[in-house]
Amino acid sequence: MEIKEQSRGKVYLVGAGPGDPSLLTLKAKELIEKADILLYDYLCNPEILDWASDHCTKVYVGKRAAKAAYSQREIEEMLIAKATEGQLVVRLKGGDPFLFGRGGEEAEALKRAGIDFEIVPGVSSALAVPAYAGIPLTHRNWASMLTIVTGHEDPQKGTTAVDWEALAQIKGTKVILMGVERLASIAHSLLERGMNPQTPVAVITWGTLPNQKVVTLSLEDIVQGRHPGFDPPAVIVMGEVVRLREELQWFEKRPLYGQRVVVTRTKEGSARIAKKLQELGAEVLEIPTIRIVPISLGDEQIRRLKKIEAFYDWLLFTSPTGVEIFFGHYLRLTGDIRGLKGIKIGAIGLATAQAIGRYHLAVEVIPEKFTSMDLARCFLGQNIEGKHFLLPRSTMADEGIVKFLTSLGACVEQWALYDIQPETEDVRGGREKFQKEGADWILFASASSVKYWSRLNLSCPDTSLLPKIISIGPQTTRALQDLHQEVYRESKIHTIDGLIETLLEEVKRKKKD
């Protein structure tokens, strides 16, 4: 019997960009979503890993504090082995794989082994980080040349691949990557070789990320030690273009720049609010406290849902999650939203109403204050005796609205469509970072997130690092107060957008003070 050779997979050497996930290329994102295995470096943003499928294996192969998880040879052997097994392998490398990323070495190893591969360029930190610092690398009036070098080797050693003599004399802008740990040595070497001691220098740490910091100084300042000290990762820019930063800086001018904010919703909900906060300049610690677990419908519920108009006069929704799960069941069973045309719908607030609106249904009732009891009070003065209400909710929903509507003569039925359980995973390390560095603010969008946050029992080494609390509304505030937590501010509009607007107002006010 003929034995067929096992089909080989393919390796993609992919640039992961400079840090900001939105700077990744579309092709890179598509490959991450399809990958069977991801091999990623230290400077790859953890958010990128969320795009991988559930079946994808993620392997950290980076180096931190001079300690490598795997040697370069081991990485190359792993790429070859996994491709030989027929897997689609994505090798994620910070920045661009062919710019000081050892991508060329890995491509050579794959070529020698007969493994099919492709290169997916990435946005290099050499280009992106200065742009985020407001420093154009070239300018008609200041610089018409650009030189990019690695500072990973010591310019004082006997032999060097970088011609530091030529670098000191060459005109234009100089960008040095991986050189912050040898910055003093580099500056001293350039000065010795004739570079102007007053040459402007910018040292940009954690470029393109919310915690980006920029220090501008002169070459002489570096040699004299007149600077606060720098830790990697950093990009060093030298040249007259650095002077333009004062006029062109934009990244630090966003309204929430310099603010570290903790968000505590579900993993999916945290990601959505985090994106909005990051666009406003905040550094976001995603520490999900809860997860939503849908509950299957019973036989009687299925029977009623198929002929819902025969059983209910009103549908009242108290959360967007309840809306999504309810309509998911309903459309799966009936396939036609028109079966609800005879039923009136109420929503606890604007976010819930917007979720309903996505199904092209009108909302008859929204209270001025977005609480379940205020929703119930909307029916005061109405004749609802004998009317049948259905409330699709969570297992943790309070009974106040049911008791109130029942007291008005209504027949109320609750369906527990989902359970709220504690989130056990901390994939991005938000909990560890919070305990080490604290935060400026923490946002709570539900009473359940308060409950499970308290169970995490996260502490900071310094009480000054504890964040100020902003609550989305009265129920969340009560839950916090029950736990003796001081609420700094409650949002007037009880929605996520209202919560963010409240944060913006407070940050603006504190900056004025």
Q: Is the pLDDT of residue 267 over 80?
A: no
Alpha carbons 149 and 155: distance in angstroms, whole number: 12
Tokens describing residue 147? 């030189």
**Strands (DSSP E) found in 396-463:** 411-422, 441-444
Query: What dotted CATH number matches 260-289+423-512?
Result: 3.40.50.10090
Q: Is the pLDDT of residue 57 over 70?
A: yes
Indicate the pLDDT class of residue 1, thresholds 50, 70 and 90.
very low
Identify residue 174 by its one-letter amino acid code. Answer: K
Instruction: Judge if 260-289+423-512 and 296-409 fold alike in CATH terms.
Output: yes
φ/ψ (deg, to 5) at 33:
-65, -30
Tokens describing residue 56? 């994808």
Give me the pLDDT at residue 7, please: 62
Q: Is the pLDDT of residue 3 over 50?
A: no
DSSP for 175-217, please give it.
Answer: EEES-GGGHHHHHHHHHHTT--TT-EEEEEESTTSTT-EEEEE
Collapsed DSSP state (helix, strand, coil) of residue 84: helix
CATH fold of 10-123: Cobalt-precorrin-4 Transmethylase; domain 1 (3.40.1010)
CA–CA distances in Å: residue 249 to residues 44, 134, 214: 25, 4, 10
CATH of 127-251 among 3.30.950.10, 3.10.129.10, 3.40.640.10, 2.40.50.140: 3.30.950.10
Query: Where are the chain's structural domains?
Result: 10-123, 127-251, 260-289+423-512, 296-409
Give me the pLDDT at residue 4, please: 39
- Sequence-ordered alpha helix ranges (H) in 335-395: 350-357, 372-377
Indicate the pLDDT class of residue 386, thresholds 50, 70 and 90.
very high
Give me the pLDDT at residue 305, please: 94
Identify residue 108 by its one-letter amino acid code. Answer: E
Q: Is the pLDDT of residue 275 over 80?
A: yes
Alpha carbons 55 and 191: distance in angstroms, whole number: 54
Contact predicate 355/496, CB 8 Å: no
- State mean pLDDT over 254-280: 88
Tokens describing residue 279? 């666009």
* Residues with active-site annotation: 41, 63, 178
Tokens describing residue 363? 């909302």
Query: What dotted CATH number matches 296-409?
Result: 3.40.50.10090
- State mean pLDDT over 459-463: 79
Tokens describing residue 227? 């600077």
Contact predicate 500/272, CB 8 Å: no
Handedness of CA 152, 157, 160, 165 (dihedral sign): positive
Alpha carbons 366 and 47: distance in angstroms, whole number: 36
DSSP state of 298: P
Q: Quick one: which of 332, 383, 337 has its CA closest to 358?
A: 337
Give me the pLDDT at residue 155, please: 58
Crossing angle for the helix pair 320-334 and 350-357, nearest 10 degrees?
20
Which carries the bigger pLDDT value, residue 156 or residue 453?
453
